[in-house]
């Protein structure tokens, strides 16, 4: 019954920016940690950013730290991923995720996934 719908992906040139959004339904959004993952063709799914239920704590992969910002608006049941200074290696399908509990150590802790949105960064 949980549904996560991502939007905001697209094609940008290196150095550009995109803002992804994920609208959640079917859950008490403010009670759950949220995350963003990405998966490039032939690669493993990578956890790039996480945010606690209140938004008080965030966590980023080294590959995106300083360039990406995760945020949430619990009143709108929405989590965002602001991506700046994009690089070709950021090209991937980006997925929104809701964690099942207190841990956000990776995909094994994810209860539900969004459908994904394609981000393509050209050189």
Over residues 69-82, the pLDDT tens digits come to 999 999 999 999 99
* Residue for token pair 């790039």: 48
Asked if 47 contacts 37 with a C-beta cutoff of 8 angstroms, the reply is yes
pLDDT in tens, 26-85: 999 999 999 999 999 999 999 999 999 999 999 999 999 999 999 999 999 999 999 999
pLDDT over threshold 90, residue 105:
no
pLDDT of residue 8: 97
Tokens of 109: 């802790």
pLDDT of residue 1: 87
Q: To the nearest whole percent, how much of the chain has pLDDT over 70?
A: 100
Distance CA 116, CA 31 (A): 22
Helix (H) or strand (E) holding 92: strand 92-99
Region 112-123: what's the mean pLDDT? 97
Q: Given pLDDT bands bounded at 50, 70 and 90, which one contains residue 108?
A: very high
Q: To the nearest whole percent, how much of the chain has pLDDT over 90?
A: 97
């Amino acid at each position: 019954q949980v549904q996560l719908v991502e939007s905001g992906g697209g094609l940008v040139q290196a150095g550009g920016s995109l803002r992804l959004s994920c609208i959640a339904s079917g859950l008490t959004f403010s009670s759950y940690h949220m995350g963003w993952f990405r998966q490039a063709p032939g690669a493993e799914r990578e956890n790039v950013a996480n945010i606690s239920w209140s938004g008080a704590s965030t966590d980023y992969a080294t590959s995106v730290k300083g360039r990406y910002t995760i945020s949430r608006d619990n009143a709108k049941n929405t989590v965002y991923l602001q991506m700046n200074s994009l690089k070709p290696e950021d090209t991937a399908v980006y997925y929104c995720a809701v964690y099942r509990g207190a841990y956000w150590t990776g995909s094994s802790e994810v209860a539900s996934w969004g459908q994904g949105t394609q981000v393509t960064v050209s050189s």
